[in-house]
Amino acid sequence: MILIINSGSSSIKFRLYDIQDKNKPKDILEGLAERIGVDGFWSFKYDSTKHEFNDKLPNHKVALKLILDKLIEMKIIENYNDIEGVGFRVVHGGTVSSSSLISDDIYSSIVDSTKLAPLHNPGALVAIDAVKAIMPDAKLVASFDTAFHQTIPKENFLYTTPIEWYENHGVRKYGFHGISYQYILKNLSTILKKDCRKVNAIVCHLGNGASMAVIKEGLSFDTTMGLTPLAGLMMGTRSGDIDPSIIEYMSKELKKDVVEITTMLNKNSGLKGISKISSDMRDVREAFYGGNQNAKIAIHKYTTIVADFMVKYANYLNGEIDAIVFTAGIGENSDFIRTQVLDRVNILGLELDEKLNAYSNDYEDYKLISTNKSKSKVYAIKTNEELMICLDTISKIYLRSTK
């Protein structure tokens, strides 16, 4: 079996896969430990039944040990050795270009990248340390959200800041959501019956965090997020791209330091900041239907920004687009947002099929939502980052291929 861990500073999301068929891992259990270091609550779903526990969780190691021991007690595993590999989601891997077995070097890269992702990488590191201590024989693999974007050419990943900022401090675009893009590309290759290395696509990963990527001949060519996940699209609570001088200006106006202003750009901006209703698209959409002006502006801005990047990325592909994909919470589910976005793309000859696009959760993995007159195919595809990490972990442990 393979255990997948997505760990934050006070939470651990986990999923267990049966990998008897290494090409088709079977998802057998998923759970969440929360409020680690505060008090503690954890639960998991197994065989359609939810199991809940109120154990005290002083740290990640105690939480993981409780989870693993419960799996043994319930005879889901016989002992720790049944779990041969553990795959970790790591948000920032700096310039590491693929998922990797966690060697000393890779561990150091994760530590080094912590200053670029101070909210995310420490959570992964404490979970890695805990698993190393509890399961010394398991093989550990890190899947990075940044890795997929390491193929972005220098002209695209450099900022227009002094070159020494890049050379001496690593200031460049890294990009995120790479595990999701990798999964979407793999699925697109199957859907289109086309070699991964030939696929040209524009992918809109629209969740609470949101980004877009342009994939040129199977490689990331550009993406909207940057040095950090704050850049690019307007998101649930993040501003996306803004004039950088706003930070100094608002720091003086509000008499707050740069860190506090950046926190406001991360937590109080985007859909939440503009609509003043919620960071959740469903709430903003309801208010939009109710005629709320703030919600109208928020949705107009949100969808215009996605549409503008779509046009820019289509230009990068010379208009030769095999597929435009909507994925993640909003992209997979919101026919409303997909329609609003494509209504604002005027020059690509795209046409949604109203019936195919209509909201329904009747699709398993993907659905085509464009008409046959549309110049490019448009799809909604359900992303599955845990499965992608599991497949990566299998390939690193058993197949030792690089990608």
Q: Kindly list the residues in this chain that would bind ligand AMP in the complex (CB under 6 A).
A: 207-208, 236, 280-282, 328-330, 333-334
How many helices and strands in the chain, by DSSP H and E? 15, 14
Of 72 and 358, the one with the shorter C-beta distance to ligand AMP is 358
CB of 210 to ligand AMP, least distance (A): 8
Is 365 known to be catalytic?
A: no
Cβ contact 170:115 at 8 Å:
no
Record the tokens describing residue 102, joined without a space.
């966690």
Of 172 and 338, the one with the shorter C-beta distance to ligand AMP is 338
Of 222 and 385, the one with the shorter C-beta distance to ligand AMP is 385
Record the tokens describing residue 276, joined without a space.
């003043």
Residue in the shown chain whose Cβ atom is closest to ligand AMP:
329
Record the tokens describing residue 320, joined without a space.
């030769």
Of 299 and 330, the one with the shorter C-beta distance to ligand AMP is 330
Task: Find tokens 């058993």 and name the residue.
Answer: 398
Phi, psi of 372 (to 5 degrees): -80, 0
Phi, psi of 248 (to 5 degrees): -65, -45
CB of 295 to ligand AMP, least distance (A): 13
Task: Find tokens 């050795």 and name the residue.
Answer: 81
Phi, psi of 116 (to 5 degrees): -85, -20
d(CA 375, CA 358): 20
d(CA 290, CA 295): 9
Of 180 and 376, the one with the shorter C-beta distance to ligand AMP is 180
3-state helix, strand, coil in the chain (%, to 5): 40, 20, 40
Of 239 and 333, the one with the shorter C-beta distance to ligand AMP is 333
**Annotated catalytic residue, options 69, 82, 145, 365:** 145
Cβ contact 224:204 at 8 Å:
no
Record the tokens describing residue 275, joined without a space.
């609509």
CB of 375 to ligand AMP, least distance (A): 26
CB of 384 to ligand AMP, least distance (A): 11
CB of 315 to ligand AMP, least distance (A): 27
CB of 360 to ligand AMP, least distance (A): 10
Task: Calculate the alpha carbon distances from 366 to 299, 331, 340 in Å.
Answer: 25, 11, 20
CB of 279 to ligand AMP, least distance (A): 7
E-assigned strands of 155-209? 201-206
Record the tokens describing residue 109, joined without a space.
């890269």
Of 240 and 329, the one with the shorter C-beta distance to ligand AMP is 329
Record the tokens describing residue 105, joined without a space.
């070097």
Q: Which amino acid is at 205?
A: H
Q: Which residues are marked as active site?
A: 145
